[in-house]
Chains A and B, each alone.
Chain A
Amino acid sequence: MKAVSAAERDNGDWVLALGGDGPESESARRDLRQLFVRALRRVLASRGVAEDLCEDFAQDALLRVRERLSSFRGESRFTTWALSIATRIAFDELRHKRWKDVSFDAIVEDSRGPVAFESRAEASQERGLVHDKVMGALAEVIENRLTDKQRAVLSAELQGMPHAEIAVHLGMKRNALYKLAHDARRRVRAHLEAAGISEADVQGMFD
């Protein structure tokens, strides 16, 4: 195999080199790792992420990219595709660090009780009626049309907990969790529509 520098490699060169063994593969792995570290450092430095952590992310990303090499469809530059994987790994880990000490039980404890809303600011009588109608429909669907698990997920989501963390706490795969959350959103949407609540009603509440 011909020796190719990082800048000269096209998508096919990257896939071929990373999928193989030998000096060209080693060189491609080194180049890709360096590219990950440089790119992650630039973006994550402003978030206070230490350089050695970027090195760890790059190492994990290199392994993941090689595992997924056959799924690269050539719809972008190879390096962009590889960077998307490195980005997912880095941000997942950073979110995990941020949330690992937060009690999931405490986050979702509140989800079991009845729905209560912040008191609304003074508004015209007409807007007040729309507001009460929307809030009533929301309370009804959350309390009576969602499962306990859907309510827990909704509560955790609304408090900003990432799906990856919620999935771990519930012992679910991330895609199964997405489906559960999606089904919950669909129920909310369907209930609001059935209650005759329009987009304009919703929009008007926040204008």
Chain B
Amino acid sequence: MRLRKEQVRALLEASRATRDVEIDCEEYLSRMAPYAEARAAGLPPPQGAEKVIEHERLCANCREETAALVEMIAQAKG
């Protein structure tokens, strides 16, 4: 397996962000809406959102979807 520098970095960062208990992408989806609403309003994350934040840090796809949802909420308000 040939690894470029940015892949090594991604792997090391993912390893560092790994927790013994994590939520998967489906669970993240079920908790994404209140998290995105808080972000769009410039508020701190809702209580109990630690696992959501940890998952977002690890999962580029969920991160991309959350950014899009925050944008949708902000645009609907504007």
Residues of A within 8 A of B (CB): 39-40, 42-43, 71, 73, 75-77, 80-81, 83-85, 87-88, 91, 95, 110-118, 134-135, 138, 142, 151, 154-155, 158-160, 162-164, 174-175, 178-179, 182, 185-186, 188-189, 192, 199, 202, 205-206
Whether the pair B15, A188 counts as a contact (CB closer than 8 A) is yes
Whether the pair A178, B24 counts as a contact (CB closer than 8 A) is yes
Residues of B within 8 A of A (CB): 1-5, 7-12, 14-16, 18, 20, 22, 24-26, 29-34, 36-37, 46, 59-61, 64-65, 68-69, 71-73, 75-76
Whether the pair B61, A91 counts as a contact (CB closer than 8 A) is yes
Which A residues are CB-close (under 8 A) to B73? 80, 83
Which A residues are CB-close (under 8 A) to B71? 42-43
Give the residue of B4, B15, B26, B59 whose beta carbon is less than 8 angstroms from that of A175. B26
Name A's interface SS.
helix
Whether the pair A189, B15 counts as a contact (CB closer than 8 A) is yes
Q: How far is the CB of B65 from chain A (nearest CB, A)?
A: 5
* A113 to B2 alpha-carbon distance, docked (Å): 8
Whether the pair B1, A87 counts as a contact (CB closer than 8 A) is no
Chain A: CB-nearest residue to B30:
A71
Chain A: CB-nearest residue to B12:
A202
Whether the pair B1, A186 counts as a contact (CB closer than 8 A) is no
Whether the pair A76, B34 counts as a contact (CB closer than 8 A) is yes
Chain B: CB-nearest residue to A154:
B11
Give the residue of B4, B16, B33 whose beta carbon is less than 8 angstroms from that of A80. B33
Whether the pair B1, A151 counts as a contact (CB closer than 8 A) is yes
* A189 to B4 alpha-carbon distance, docked (Å): 19
* A126 to B14 alpha-carbon distance, docked (Å): 25
A83-B72, A188-B14, A205-B12 known, 16 other contacts, Cβ within 8 Å: A75-B33, A77-B37, A80-B33, A83-B69, A84-B65, A112-B1, A118-B5, A118-B8, A138-B3, A159-B7, A175-B24, A185-B14, A185-B15, A188-B15, A189-B18, A202-B12
Q: How far is the CB of A187 from chain B (nearest CB, A)?
A: 9
Give the residue of B11, B18, B33, B68 whose beta carbon is less than 8 angstroms from that of A91. B68
Give the residue of A87, A115, A118, A199 whose beta carbon is less than 8 angstroms from that of B4. A118
Whether the pair B8, A142 counts as a contact (CB closer than 8 A) is no
Whether the pair A76, B30 counts as a contact (CB closer than 8 A) is no
Whether the pair A39, B12 counts as a contact (CB closer than 8 A) is no
Which B residues are CB-close (under 8 A) to A75? 31, 33-34, 46
